[in-house]
Amino acid sequence: MLFENKYIQQRIEKAEKLREVGINPYSNESLRNCTIAKFLNVNSDILHSEEKRDENRTYTVAGRIKFFRLMGKAAFLKIEDESGMLQIYVARDNLPEGFYNDIFKKNIEVGDIIEVSGYPFVTGQGELSLHADGLKILTKAISPLPEKYHGIQDKELRYRQRYLDLIMNSEVRKTFQIRSKVISLTRRFFENKGFLEVETPMMHPIAGGANAKPFVTHHNALGIDRFLRIAPELYLKRLIVGGFEAVFEINRNFRNEGMDATHNPEFTSIEFYWAYKTYKDLIVITKEYFEYLFEHLNLPTVLPYGNLKIDFSKFTEIPLIQSLYEIGGVPQDIVEDKEKIITFMKEKNLDVNVNMNLGQLQGELFDEYVEDKLINPTFITEYPVEISPLARRNDEKPHLTDRFELFIAGKEIANAFSELNDPLDQLQRFEGQIAAKEAGDDEAHEMDEDFVNALSYGMAPTAGQGIGIDRLVMMLTNEHSIRDVLLFPAMKPIKHEIDLYEDQEN
């Protein structure tokens, strides 16, 4: 049960004692007029002054107590708000009579959120601090914080109780501040390029836009199933048919698949579609986008990623089939022969599905031998038609598509192509996907007759791209698990959640 711990009970008793003397331990009124960062900035001159204090300057700050040291008639605290940490000096004789001994010492502790008024001064240790002449408790924390120096060691606990992780780890907050800036800058970049931000449905009648397993939900009023969207692609392209020439959407996608260091069941991406452009134009705008991000995030172009160094100023391009032998070391004479690939994979003791077509097998070779070698940003181009059901065929090489994927540090960050706008070709591709699904590929694309019908009215030559925001933030913050860049990642249920679910089912 909640709150049975004896230390929590002691804190609850302190909250009650505050109420008994007329102090609301959960006040909703604060007179804070200055953040901690602002206080430290505007008073930095005092560090170099003769007096080392200025009693004519008064400020009211607020924050959570992260450190508390009593010294008889005085105490030192450190409080933290979103902007930083500040040392507070509290002396008995500067507070109302009885407050220090009867209220402050007995009922206020680490974890509580307080408001403090006073003037700036510099301690004997040379630290700019606030000398308190007024103190008010705003929120009594009844659960104690983890021990300061060890923090939260259990990563599972950090993810499940992200609020506690954020309280204890300012670096974690910085990661999510960068994530927020990336999303904001992404929006601004595309708006500045003339794109229109739009919103498309989250619940689809057909699971489409990518090859993936969907989540299924049920619409009670209509009495039909709906699918949480795998991707917004087909709806965004309908808008191009309708006459919009540059659209984008930043939002969530959902895929009912496994979880690992780079996959979460729901993830954030930007997808954008640009009429009268090709995938080659997307390579150009992608480079510009990265330059824009790095400039506005004030990041160096070379960033660490674990033991790797990623140079974001060095973008390269290479066709997929060429990458198999030039980067992956696969024998060049086998890469365009289905039977030779199967023999090669068996010799290497790799799992191989002999029912796969040539394009699918080339994709398997790429995943095995090339992907993890792509450290600096690399555009892999000219994907086989068989693994690109929505991409336009190349005019000179009709077995390939005008497509690229961008890889950084061995991870796919973006997927783009010149869009297929031939309705008959699209219909045949969908029919091929249906055949693949009937043969056992549960990630194959569903038939979407309405989308084919939309194409029949004519879609301008268009290029489209999706960029994974979560993985991009991982690269920029040197995080190696997608859970570290998601505030609330998907987690396996713990026992009491399983018990609750079973009770509901029964």
Instruction: Look at strands 196-197 and 246-254 and give their pairing.
Output: parallel
363 phi and psi, to 5 degrees?
-65, -40
**Sheet with 203-204, edge to edge strand ranges:** 203-204, 224-228, 216-219
Helix (H), strand (E) at residue 462:
strand 462-468
Q: Greater confidence, 302 or 503? A: 302
User: How much is the average pLDDT of 335-353?
Assistant: 95
- Residues of the chain with pLDDT > 70, as a percent, come to 96
> Could you tell me which residues come within 8 angstroms of residue 92 by beta carbon, excluding any fewer than 6 positions away?
73, 74, 100, 101
Digit-coded pLDDT (tens) for 293-331: 999 999 999 999 999 999 999 999 999 999 999 999 999
C-alpha distances in Å from residue 402, one per residue of 157, 269, 283, 505: 45, 21, 12, 49
Q: How confident is the model at residue 448 (pLDDT cuts 50, 70, 90)?
A: confident
Contact present, 297 and 269 (Cβ < 8 Å): no
Q: What is the pLDDT of residue 298?
A: 97
Q: How confident is the model at residue 501 (pLDDT cuts 50, 70, 90)?
A: very low
Instruction: Look at strands 246-254 and 216-219 and give their pairing.
Output: unpaired
Digit-coded pLDDT (tens) for 15-43: 999 999 999 999 999 999 999 999 999 99
pLDDT higher than 60, residue 111: yes
What is the model's pTM?
0.90
Q: What is the pLDDT of residue 497?
A: 53
pLDDT higher than 90, residue 178: yes
Contact present, 51 and 94 (Cβ < 8 Å): no
pLDDT higher than 80, residue 445: no
Q: What is the pLDDT of residue 151?
A: 59
Q: How confident is the model at residue 234 (pLDDT cuts 50, 70, 90)?
A: very high
Q: What is the pLDDT of residue 163?
A: 94
Q: How confident is the model at residue 267 (pLDDT cuts 50, 70, 90)?
A: very high
Q: Is the dihedral of CA 106, 110, 113, 116 positive or negative?
A: positive
Digit-coded pLDDT (tens) for 182-233: 999 999 999 999 999 999 999 998 887 777 889 999 999 999 999 999 999 9
Contact present, 305 and 472 (Cβ < 8 Å): no
